[in-house]
Amino acid sequence: MKFHRVYYKEFNQTDKISIDNKSKINHLKKVLRLSEGSQVDVFDGKGNSSICKIVSLEKKEIVLEPIGDTEFQQPERINLKVLLPYIKKENLFFAVQKVTEIGVSNISLFRPDNIDQSIKKKDLSKINEKALSIIIHACEQNGSNIVPDFQIYEDLSSAIEHDSFSIFFDLDATNDFQSIKIIKDNISLITGPESGFSKREKELLNARATHNISLGKNILRAETAPITALSVIKSNLGLL
C-alpha cells in the first residue's frame, strides 16, 4: 500500500510528532483529505522513515504517532553535487525540482558573473527559501528519504574551492563522457547561466575543474543543461 509522505526532520527523536506548520496542515487536510486514523509515511531527510497514524487533526496542529518500525534508506554509493547558477526564478525552481527528482546528494547555488538582470538586484534569500521548500516537496514526491544538502555561494570560485573531482559543461568542449574515467566517490557537476560562463569563470574552471565536457551539438537552456548532465552521468555510472 502506498502512503502519502510527510517530511519531519526530528521525527525519529520523539514518540509523537506535532506539526503546526499552517501550509502543511492545509495540505494534509484539504488537499490530501486525510483524517484521524489515516496513515502517512514520515521521513526525516537523513534516511529514516516510519509509518505513522494521525491521532489528532486540529486547525492549528496535527499529531502523528509512529506505528511501524523505523526503516533506513542507504545513500547512493557516489555523492553527486550539482552546482547551479542563479537564473530566472521559475527556470531555477524547475531545475532544482528535476535534479532532486533524479537524485543528488547536494544542490548548491552560486551567483554567476553573468547573472540575469531580472534577479540581479532581488533579495536572493527569498529565492533560496523557495528553492529549499521545492527540494523537500520533491523528496516527498519521489520516494527518497534523504533530502539533498543545500548550500549557497557568493560566486563560482568559492563554490568549487574544495571540490576534488568536478566536471563543467561548456559549448566549446570537445570531450564527452566516454572520454573520461571517473575514479572518485564525490563528483561535482557545474553548469552555467543563460548568458554562459564569463571569461573569468572559464579561466577559473579550466584551471581548477577536473574535466570540461560537451553535452552535444544542441544548445541547451540553462535549466535543461543540469538535468541532462545529471541524467547522462547517472546512466553512465549505473545509478538510474
Structure confidence by residue, pLDDT tens digits, 220-238: 899 999 999 999 888 878 7
Q: Report the DSSP beta bridge partners of residue 6.
A: 42
Q: Where in the chain is the domain with CATH 3.40.1280.10?
A: 79-236
What pLDDT does residue 9 have? 86
**Integer Cα distance of 29 and 31 in angstroms:** 6
What pLDDT does residue 27 have? 85
pLDDT exceeds 70 at position 183: no
Q: What single letter denotes the amino acid at residue 49?
A: S
As its CATH architecture, domain 4-72 has: Beta Barrel (2.40)
What pLDDT does residue 64 have? 92
What pLDDT does residue 21 have? 84
First to last CA, the chain: 24
Average pLDDT along the chain: 89
Structure confidence by residue, pLDDT tens digits, 77-131: 889 999 999 999 999 999 999 999 999 999 999 999 999 998 988 889 999 999 9
pLDDT exceeds 90 at position 176: no
Structure confidence by residue, pLDDT tens digits, 204-215: 998 888 888 888
pLDDT exceeds 70 at position 240: no
Query: Which is higher by pLDDT, 67 or 184?
Result: 67
Q: Report the DSSP beta bridge partners of residue 72.
A: 48
What pLDDT does residue 76 have? 87
**Integer Cα distance of 86 and 121 in angstroms:** 12
- CA-to-CA separations, 125 to 82, 131, 152, in angstroms, rounded: 19, 10, 10
Poorest-confidence range of 35-44, 76-85, 165-174, 216-225? 165-174
What pLDDT does residue 15 have? 78
| Helix 89-102 × helix 225-236 angle, to 10° | 10
Structure confidence by residue, pLDDT tens digits, 7-24: 998 877 667 888 888 888
Structure confidence by residue, pLDDT tens digits, 137-154: 999 999 999 999 999 999
Which class is domain 79-236?
alpha beta
> pTM of the predicted model, to two decimals?
0.90
Contacts of 172 (CB under 8 A, 6+ apart): none
Q: Where in the chain is the domain with CATH 2.40.240.20?
A: 4-72
